[in-house]
Structure 1
Amino acid sequence: MKPEPFTVEENLARAAADRATLRAYSPKPTGPVSLEEAQARALAYNLDHRLQMFNALLQDRQLDLTRLDMLPNLTANAGYVSRNKELVSSSASYLTGDMVPSNFENVSVDRERTFADLTLSWNIIDFGVSYLQAKQQADRVIIAQEQRRRVINNIFQQVQTAYWTALSSERVMPRIRPIIKEARRALAQSRAAGAERSQDPAEALRYQRSLMEMIQQLEAVEEQLAVAKTQLAQLMGLPPDTSYRLAPPTGRQATPRLKLSIDDMERIALVNRPELREEAYNGRVVLNEGRRAILRLVPGVTLLASLNYDSNSYLRFNDWSEVGARLAASVVRVASIPGVAKLGDVQLEIADYRRHAMTMAVIAQVQISARQYAIARNTYERAHEMAQINRNIANLQANTQEAETGSDLDVIREKVNAVLADLRSNRAQADLQSADGNIFATLGIDPLPADVKAATLPELVEAIRQRRQQWREGRIPVPVLPAPQAPAQPAQPIPAMAATIASNAK
Structure 2
Amino acid sequence: MLAGLMAGCAQLTPEQALTPPTRSSWQQELDQMQIEPIQGTLSLEEAIARGLKYNLDRRAKQLEQEIASGQFESALQDMLPKARAQIDRSTRSEERQTRNANGTPSNITSERNHTVQEMGMSWSLLEFGVGYYNAKQARERVQIANERRRKLIHTLIQDVRSAYWRAACAQAMRQELKNTIAQAEQALEDSRKIESERVRAPTESLTYQKQLLESLRTLELIDQDLAPAQVELATLINAPAGQALILEAPWPELRGEMSTSIEALETMALERNADLREVQHQSRIARDETRKVLAKMFPNLSFNIAAKYDTDSYQVHKGWDDASLQLSFNLMNLFTGPSQMRLAEAGVALADQRRMVMQMAVMTQVHLGRLNWLNAQKQSQRAEQIWAVDHRLATLASAREKALMRGRLETVNAQASALLSQFRRYQSVAQVQVAESRLRAVIGMEFDDAGVDRLPLKDIVEKVRQTPQITALGTTGVGHAPR
The TM-score, its normalising length taken from structure 2, stands at 0.89
Q: How does 1:61-80 map to 2 (within 5 A)?
A: 61-80=70-89
Unaligned runs of 5+ in 2: 1-11
> Per-residue displacement from partner, 1:400-427 (whole Å, max 9, x unpaired)?
2333222222122212211112222221
> Per-residue displacement from partner, 1:98-129 (whole Å, max 9, x unpaired)?
x25xxx44112123333211121111111111
Deviation for aligned residue 1:437 = 1.5
Amino acid across the alignment from 2:117: A
Amino acid across the alignment from 1:78: I
> Number of residue pairs matched?
466
Asked if the contact 1:157/1:441 (under 8 Å) is kept, the reply is: no
Is residue 356 from structure 1 mapped to residue 352 from structure 2 by the alignment?
no
SS of the residue corresponding to residue 302 of structure 2 reads strand
Is residue 42 from structure 1 mapped to residue 51 from structure 2 by the alignment?
yes
Distance between the aligned counterparts of 1:136 and 1:478, measured in 2? 29
Provide the residue aligned with 1:161 in structure 2.
162
Mean Cα deviation higher: 363-372 or 325-334: 325-334
* Aligned CA distance change for structure 1 residues 281 and 125 (closer, same or farther; 3 Å): same
* Aligned CA distance change for structure 1 residues 132 and 107 (closer, same or farther; 3 Å): same
Provide the residue aligned with 1:226 in structure 2.
227
Deviation for aligned residue 1:278 = 1.2
Q: How does 1:290-305 map to 2 (within 5 A)?
A: 290-305=290-305
Asked if the contact 2:387/2:422 (under 8 Å) is kept, the reply is: yes
> Per-residue displacement from partner, 1:240-280 (whole Å, max 9, x unpaired)?
3221121113543x657544322221111111111111111
Mean Cα deviation higher: 266-275 or 449-458: 449-458
* Aligned CA distance change for structure 1 residues 472 and 247 (closer, same or farther; 3 Å): farther
2:66 to 24, 41, 57: 57
Provide the residue aligned with 1:119 in structure 2.
120
Q: How does 1:53-452 map to 2 (within 5 A)?
A: 53-83=62-92, 85-93=94-102, 99-100=103-104, 104-249=105-250, 251-252=252-253, 258-334=258-334, 337=337, 340-448=340-448
Distance between the aligned counterparts of 2:212 and 2:27, measured in 1? 44
SS of the residue corresponding to residue 404 of structure 2 reads coil
* Aligned CA distance change for structure 1 residues 23 and 315 (closer, same or farther; 3 Å): closer
> Per-residue displacement from partner, 1:164-197 (whole Å, max 9, x unpaired)?
2222222222221111112222233333344444
Distance between the aligned counterparts of 1:310 and 1:87, measured in 2? 15
Is residue 6 from structure 1 mapped to residue 17 from structure 2 by the alignment?
yes
SS of the residue corresponding to residue 428 of structure 2 reads helix
Asked if the contact 1:22/1:239 (under 8 Å) is kept, the reply is: no
Give % identity.
Answer: 28
Distance between the aligned counterparts of 1:175 and 1:382, measured in 2? 23
Distance between the aligned counterparts of 2:46 and 2:256, measured in 1? 19
Amino acid across the alignment from 1:30: Q
Asked if the contact 2:445/2:478 (under 8 Å) is kept, the reply is: no
Deviation for aligned residue 1:332 = 3.8
Distance between the aligned counterparts of 1:58 and 1:478, measured in 2? 29
Distance between the aligned counterparts of 2:28 and 2:108, measured in 1? 74
* Aligned CA distance change for structure 1 residues 108 and 257 (closer, same or farther; 3 Å): same
Amino acid across the alignment from 2:250: P
> Per-residue displacement from partner, 1:263-309 (whole Å, max 9, x unpaired)?
22111111111111111111211111111111111110111111111
SS of the residue corresponding to residue 445 of structure 1 reads coil
Asked if the contact 1:256/1:433 (under 8 Å) is kept, the reply is: no
Q: CA RMSD in A?
A: 2.5
> Per-residue displacement from partner, 1:308-347 (whole Å, max 9, x unpaired)?
1112222221111111100101234146555544443332
Asked if the contact 1:73/1:120 (under 8 Å) is kept, the reply is: yes
Amino acid across the alignment from 1:81: S
Mean Cα deviation higher: 410-419 or 193-202: 193-202
* Aligned CA distance change for structure 1 residues 266 and 141 (closer, same or farther; 3 Å): same
Asked if the contact 1:397/1:410 (under 8 Å) is kept, the reply is: yes
SS of the residue corresponding to residue 345 of structure 2 reads helix
* Aligned CA distance change for structure 1 residues 473 and 31 (closer, same or farther; 3 Å): farther
SS of the residue corresponding to residue 324 of structure 1 reads strand
Asked if the contact 2:83/2:120 (under 8 Å) is kept, the reply is: yes
SS of the residue corresponding to residue 405 of structure 1 reads coil
Distance between the aligned counterparts of 1:429 and 1:371, measured in 2? 16
Deviation for aligned residue 1:34 = 1.5
